[in-house]
Amino acid sequence: MDLVINKMGLNGMINIPSDKSISHRSIMFGAIAQGKTTIKNFLRGDDCLSTLKAFQELGVNIEDDGETITVHGTGFSGLTQAKQAIDVGNSGTTIRLIMGILAGTSFTTELFGDHSIAKRPMNRVMLPINQMGADCSGHDGTEFPPLTVTGTTDLKPITYQMPVASAQVKSAILFAALQAQGESIIVEKEKTRDHTEDMIRQFGGEIDVLGKEIRIKGPQSLVGQKVIVPGDISSAAFFLTAGLIVPNSQITLNNVGLNPTRTGIIDVIQQMGGNLTIHETGSETNKAGTLVVETSNLKGIEISGEIIPRLIDELPIIALLATQAEGTTIIRDAEELKVKETNRIDAVATELNKMGADIEPTDDGLIIQGKTPLHGAKVTSYGDHRIGMMLQIAALLVKNGTVELEKAEAISVSYPRFFDDLNKLYQ
């Protein structure tokens, strides 16, 4: 499709889609809790619907009236064997986290996804889960999906030093640890998003976190809750960037989740000199706020170390932001980008360079020279929703030529109304 190209500023207010990570987990926790869980502001994107359908196939009664989702929890022990292999679509969160839940079942489950999922490494989850007594294996003895998970009702606790900074891996282990006989200890490589830890507490569970060390005793029984999902800062990131780099712009974003483990992009914007105002509106357990962003003069910075897990999903759009900053921006310690929906290091460099950017990919990140004008080109999302949205925001800067995006449909995975929201800002 041909992308919208901006000829004037972007101005207006947007209600950001609900948080993808919390939407996934709200279904999962509702399913494994006892009693009823109600969920408002659930993200009805393809990925989160894959999670919803997966638990329906595992015997959980889930109702959706279009406004509220009601999950009639079965507890861990009430899950039943799916009648067929479960299709997770494009959702890495679904397949990785559900492995931890299935580890404690008394049956075997097969999991598969699309061509992108088939290329994503699963050893990082399979190894600790198997150490706990489950039997997880990949296609033809590899670490890649399709996967077979044979659970056990006698899961052993684990002490596990995380080799990678991954909230998905951590969450899978936590779901298994909730079912294990004894105390598990997880030591993170770097602090990652802590929605799972927060929701364990919200659903009546017990978990202790001290720095990078997490302790959790099992088995535990959870209780259904009311969940209101805040807006997703990963989705907000695209309009935050647009407001900063498109001339004559001011954009207000409502109900954006501000969990400190997710707000690395706000730190980056502030370090780069961006004009960003935050009005906090949420509670202690449901941190959220209204963000107002305006066109700004930006400067290049280095992004590395412990901040990386706090903005790993936002790095593609941060790379675009850096192309419009004065000087050099260096992104390091971001090897995890290689195993997302696509190799996002290569995808960002290849596609933005087609448009006139000056980006050098490295083994663990990117070196970005700014400030560079962008021009029209034929680009592709590679089937990756975040690459697709990043390229649309890049197209807003183009003055000469057109931008044609292949595989634009991938954007519906996390932000089905993305193009509609963008068009609102022209009016």
Q: Which residues are catalytic?
A: 313
What is the amino acid identity at position 422? Answer: L
Contact 398, 5 (CB under 8 A): yes
- CA 20 from chain centre, in angstroms, equals 6
Point out the annotated binding site for 3-phosphoshikimate.
20-21, 25, 166, 168, 313, 340
For tokens 């696509």, name the residue. 342
CA nearest 106: which of 154, 138, 53, 62? 154
Point out the annotated binding site.
20-21, 25, 92, 120, 166, 168, 313, 340, 344, 386
Beta-bridged to residue 36, according to DSSP, are 72
Region of 382 on the Ramachandran plot (φ > 0 left; ψ -120 to 50 alpha; else beta): left
Point out the annotated binding site for phosphoenolpyruvate.
20, 92, 120, 168, 344, 386
C-alpha to C-alpha distance for 394 and 410, rounded to whole angstroms: 17
DSSP, collapsed to helix, strand or coil, labels residue 190 as coil
What is the amino acid identity at position 137? Answer: S
| Cα within 13 Å of Cα(189), Cβ side | 15
The token duo for 409 is 């449909």
Burial of residue 204 (number of CB atoms within 10 Å: 0-12, 13-18, 19+): middle
Burial of residue 195 (number of CB atoms within 10 Å: 0-12, 13-18, 19+): buried
CA nearest 46: which of 418, 380, 421, 410? 410
C-alpha to C-alpha distance for 278 and 293, rounded to whole angstroms: 9
DSSP string, 36-58: EEEEES---SHHHHHHHHHHHHT
DSSP, collapsed to helix, strand or coil, labels residue 422 as helix
Q: Calculate ∠ Cα 165-166-170, nearest 5°.
A: 110
